[in-house]
Amino acid sequence: MLSRMLAYFVNNLHVVEKLAESRPIRRAAQITAYAITKAQIAGRDTSERVLRSQTLRQVREEAGKVPGDMQEITQVARETGLIGAGYTALFEESSHRLTS
């Protein structure tokens, strides 16, 4: 019964127009528009700050320094002393198998 009555009022153009012209509905629409606009501005400001941040530049720089292949990783490991001569040969052999 209640759902039928509610459906009747929602589908009645005259009732909908009267509600749209009422002060509470107009005020709710104003508040909603204000909140959406403020959120858009805040989101834009935040994204601009992130793009200008030093952290993002550092991440991009570090991502550019990532070794491209197994031979480059082996070379860096050999230069830094992380692996010895025996392991170097093993790495080079396995990288050769992976690339061929």
List, for residues 8-22, the tens digit of each pLDDT value: 888 888 888 888 899
C-alpha 58/C-alpha 52 separation (Å) is 11
Residue with the larger pLDDT of the pair 9 and 100: 9
Neighbour-count burial for 37-55, b at 16+ CB within 10 Å, e otherwise? eeeeeeeeeeeeeeeeeee
Residue with the larger pLDDT of the pair 90 and 10: 10
CB 67 within 8 A of CB 76: yes
Contact partners, residue 50, CB within 8 Å, separation at least 6: 56
Q: Give the N- to C-terminal CA distance of the chain in Å, as an integer.
A: 76
Please identify which residue in the block is written with the tokens 């009732």.
Answer: 15
pLDDT in the model for residue 95: 56
pLDDT digits (tens, 9 = 90+) for 30-57: 999 999 999 999 998 888 887 777 777 7
Look over the chain and give the mean of its residue pLDDT values, rounded to a whole number: 78
Q: What's the DSSP call for residue 53?
A: -
